[in-house]
Amino acid sequence: MHILVTNDDGVTAPGLLALAQEMRSLGKVTVFAPDKNWSASGHVKTMERPLRVKETILADGTPAFASDGAPSDCVALPLLGLIEEPIDLVVSGINPNANIGHDVTYSGTVTAAMEAVIAGVKGIAVSLDSPEGHRAPLDYSAAAVVAKRVAEKVIADGLPEGVVLNVNVPYLKESELKGYMITRQGLRVYRDALDVRMDPRGKPYYWIGGEAPTGVAENGTDFGALSQGYVSITPLQLDLTHRKAMDVLKEWNFR
Amino acid sequence: MHILVTNDDGVTAPGLLALAQEMRSLGKVTVFAPDKNWSASGHVKTMERPLRVKETILADGTPAFASDGAPSDCVALPLLGLIEEPIDLVVSGINPNANIGHDVTYSGTVTAAMEAVIAGVKGIAVSLDSPEGHRAPLDYSAAAVVAKRVAEKVIADGLPEGVVLNVNVPYLKESELKGYMITRQGLRVYRDALDVRMDPRGKPYYWIGGEAPTGVAENGTDFGALSQGYVSITPLQLDLTHRKAMDVLKEWNFR
C-alpha cells in the first residue's frame, strides 16, 4: 500500500505532519505538498509555467517533496510518474478548518483529492472543524486517527467509482467523538464583505473580508453532523450534472 | 437587466469582447475581468492579499474593469458591492476552448459562473469548441449569438435554483449549427504527460505536458452534442453529493 499525502496549507503545516505520521501505520507514505499556502485556491492544473520540486524534511525528520505547484499539481506530478512507485491512495489534509457545503469547489484540500479520483486513484480529503478564532496550536491527533480509520476502510472495502471522500472532524478529543455519519453536502452561509481601504498614495484596494462562514446545521448534512459531535463523511462526485434541471431545460424552445 | 460579463482569459481577450458586445442588446453590461490569463485556475477566493481594480477600455472603446484577482474574484467583488447597481445575471466567456466533462472544476470560466450562483445570481459559462491547434484568430461570432439566445431564455424563463449553465458551442458558422441540446456532463479523457527538462544549471523542472484532452462522444453528453454539431447546454449543480455512494458507505461499520 503506497499512500500519497498532500495538503493545501504547505509542506510545513502541522496538519500534514500529523496525517503523514498516522498514515505510516497503513503502508508506505510519500509526502508531496506545496511549498506555500494555497487555501481557497480551487482546482488548478498549472500549464503556463514549469514546476519545481525540492526534497525537504518534515519536522519529524522524515523526507518529503515540496513543489511550487498548487495542491492538485502536487497530486498530478507524482501520478504522472514523477514518483515511480504506483500510488494506491491519496489523502489530503489535515486542513485546519472545515470544508463543508460550497467550500468543496474552492478547497485546495478537496480538489487535491478530486485530482486523484480523476486520475483513477482513490482520494480522501480530511479537515478539522476547529473553533473560530482558535489561536493556540491546533490538536490534530483525533483527526489523524479518524483519517487512518477512514483510509483503512477505503483500503479494505474500496470506494464506488468516481467518489471523493470529504471527511470533516469535530474539534474534540478522540474519546469525545460521537461516531461517524455518512452525510450529504450541506449549505454553507458565507458572510464575505467588501473591505475597501486606501493605500498610502490614496488609491483604493479591496479585501474580501467579513466574518468566517457558518452553515445550516440540518440533519444529515456535513455541518449538521459536525455540530452534533460526529465525524462527517460526504461522498462527492465529479459529475455535476443537475439531472432534474435537464428536464426543465428540455422544455426550452430555441428555434 | 444588468449583466456582468467576465472571463478567465483576461480583459483583453477577443472572446470577452464578442460576448460583451452581444450582451449589450439585452441590457446594461458591466465588464469586470482579470488583468491576466487564469486558465485552469479553478474556483478561487483570494483572501490572503488585497485586490486592485483598474478602469480600462476594451478594443471597441467601451469601459471595463480589470482586477488582479481570479475570475471568481471578478464576480465576487462586484456582487459584494464594488459595483453599486444590482447585477441580475453573470455571463462568463467566451472561452477559446471547450469546457466539458471534468474540465468544469478546473475551469475559471465555469467557476466564475459558479461564484455567481453561490451568491444567488444566475450564472452562465460560454465556451467555444475550437479545433485543436487552431492558430488564426478565432471567430467568436456564432458563439456570441448563442450566448445571447441562451441569456435571453434565462432572463425570460429563469433557471432552477442553484443551477449553473455550462454552454459549449461547436466551431461552426451560425447557419451550420444543428441546434441546441440539453446534455449531461460527459467523460473527458486527459492525455497529460510529464515533461522533464533540465535548466541551464542541470537542475530538473517539470511541465505538465502531453496532448490536448479529448472526450468520449457519448449520446446525450456535452462532448457528444459538440461532435454532432449541436450547442451543448449542461445544467450543473453545486451539491456534489454522490447519493448512491451514501448508501454504500452507510454499510461501513466504524465501531
Query: How crowded is the C-beta side of B244, counted as CA atoms within 13 Å?
Result: 7
pLDDT of residue B41: 86
Segment B63-77 shows an average pLDDT of 97
Q: Using the predicted structure, report yes or no on whether residue B208 has a pLDDT greater than 70.
A: yes
* Per-residue pLDDT, B170: 98
Interface of A with B in 206-235 (CB under 8 A): 206-208, 233-235
The answer to whether residue A244 scores a pLDDT higher than 70 is yes
Q: φ, ψ for residue A12 (rounded to 5)? A: -90, 0
What's the DSSP call for residue B78? I
Best to test chain A binding among B208, B219, B247 (most A CBs inside 10 Å): B208
- Kindly report, residue by residue over A7-24, the tens digit of the pLDDT: 999 999 999 999 999 999
pLDDT band at B236 (very low <50, low <70, confident <90, very high): very high
Say whether B50 and A234 touch across the interface (CB within 8 A).
no
CATH topology of domain B2-188+215-249: Stationary-phase Survival Protein Sure Homolog; Chain: A, (3.40.1210)
The domain locations on chain A are 2-187+215-249
Interface of B with A in 107-166 (CB under 8 A): 111, 114, 118, 149, 153, 157, 159-160, 162-163
Q: Residue for cell digits 496525517? A: A19
User: ipTM beyond 0.95?
Assistant: no
Side-by-side strand order, sheet with A63-67? A53-57, A63-67, A28-34, A2-6, A89-95, A122-129, A163-170, A230-237, A179-182
Tell me the pLDDT band of A255, cut-offs 50, 70 and 90: low
Confidence of residue B18 (pLDDT cuts 50, 70, 90): very high
Q: Which of B162, B194, B244 sits opposite A77 (nearest CB)?
A: B194
What DSSP element (H or E) covers A31?
A: strand A28-34
Q: Count of CB atoms within 10 A of residue A227's CB?
A: 18
pTM for the structure as a whole: 0.95
Burial class (CB in 10 A: 0-12, 13-18, 19+), B98: buried
B-contacting residues of A 179-198, CB under 8 Å?
A: 179-180, 182-185, 190, 192-194, 196-197
Q: Homologous superfamily of A2-187+215-249 in CATH?
A: Survival protein SurE-like phosphatase/nucleotidase (3.40.1210.10)
Residue B253 has pLDDT above 70, yes or no: yes
**Whether the Cβ atoms of residue A208 and residue B76 lie closer than 8 Å to each other:** yes
Span B114-162, pLDDT tens digits: 999 999 999 999 999 999 888 779 999 999 999 999 999 999 999 999 9
User: In the prediction, which pLDDT does A247 show?
Assistant: 94
pLDDT of residue B134: 80
For residue A66, the SS3 value is: strand
B255: confidence class by pLDDT, cuts 50, 70, 90: low
Reported as a pLDDT band with limits 50, 70 and 90, residue A39 is: confident
Average pLDDT, chain B: 95
d(CA B177, CA B88): 28
Maximal CA-CA distance, chain B: 66
The 3-state DSSP class for residue B168 equals strand
pLDDT at residue A135 tops 80: no
